[in-house]
Amino acid sequence: MEKKVVYITGGSKGIGKGIAQYLLIHGYKVAISSRHLKSAQEAAESLNGNKDDILAIQSDVCKADDEKNAIRKITDTWGRLDVLIANAGVGHFAPIEELTVEQWNEVINTNVTGVFHSVKACVEQLKKTKGYIITIASLAGTYFSEKGTAYNASKFAMVGFSQALMLDLRQHDVKVTTIMPGSVTSYFNNHIPSVEDGWKIQPEDIGEIVYDLLKMNPRVLPSKIEVRPAKPPVKR
């Protein structure tokens, strides 16, 4: 059977790379993107799997034309697209007095408008393959926190966007799920992963959730999934 093709935005590190690795070893073709071609290529080279099943793409999700070109590159290479994982995201956290206009714009442009660009670029292809869109939102899309104005606004918007999109596309046999993780080990917000992150969800755990969704019976659609570390450290 022909392998299914997945496009993961922001697959150069963190959660996107973890999903890419999980899907590669479970028989999918995977395209990963980054704002910088070199980062996408280095990530692609470090993944375990058949190198013919991995494609590195430069694309900034904030630019609609980049996302259109990314999809063209995937369909030119593999002739199809079955799954979009809208994962690329950034966060800036500061009290409202200190949050800059530039930080606000970067968060909203990447986490909200970026997802819109990725979906717009993919939707006709996904209708052809009766495909799947999975957005990586956050628990910050349902719980708000201090210093979180920009990030909370972006992830609440992303959850709303994803749920409305799900209603639009299910009549076309395209499924939409939004995954809302709590703490995941990654490079998010300039974090450097270390052994102290062992209690967190690991990127490959999100890969496993994605894989389970893709394997689910066509009649079943978990539209929104909250996922959190099973045992966070006790706060003292």
Ligand X SMILES: NC(=O)c1ccc[n+]([C@@H]2O[C@H](COP(=O)([O-])OP(=O)(O)OC[C@H]3O[C@@H](n4cnc5c(N)ncnc54)[C@H](OP(=O)(O)O)[C@@H]3O)[C@@H](O)[C@H]2O)c1
Binding interface with ligand X (CB under 6 A) = 9-16, 33-36, 39, 59-62, 87-91, 110, 114, 136, 138, 181, 183-184, 186-188
CB of 121 to ligand X, least distance (A): 13
CB of 191 to ligand X, least distance (A): 7
In the bound state with ligand X, the residue whose beta carbon lies nearer, of 41 and 129, is 41
CA atoms within 13 A on the CB side of 52: 2
In the bound state with ligand X, the residue whose beta carbon lies nearer, of 38 and 170, is 38
C-alpha to C-alpha distance for 155 and 56, rounded to whole angstroms: 26
C-alpha to C-alpha distance for 148 and 3, rounded to whole angstroms: 40
Measured in whole angstroms, the distance separating CA 160 from the mean position of its chain's CA atoms is: 16
52 φ/ψ sector (left φ>0, alpha ψ -120 to 50, else beta): alpha
C-alpha to C-alpha distance for 59 and 65, rounded to whole angstroms: 9
In the bound state with ligand X, the residue whose beta carbon lies nearer, of 45 and 173, is 45
CB of 137 to ligand X, least distance (A): 7
In the bound state with ligand X, the residue whose beta carbon lies nearer, of 62 and 221, is 62
Contacts of 23 (CB under 8 A, 6+ apart): 6, 30, 207, 210, 211, 214
In the bound state with ligand X, the residue whose beta carbon lies nearer, of 194 and 217, is 194
End-to-end CA distance of the chain: 54
In the bound state with ligand X, the residue whose beta carbon lies nearer, of 129 and 182, is 182
CB of 34 to ligand X, least distance (A): 3
147, 92 Cβ separation under 8 angstroms: no
Residue nearest to ligand X (CB): 89
Choose among 97, 68, 92, 77: nearest CA to 30. 77
CB of 104 to ligand X, least distance (A): 15
Helix (H) or strand (E) run with residue 56 in it? strand 54-58
CB of 81 to ligand X, least distance (A): 17
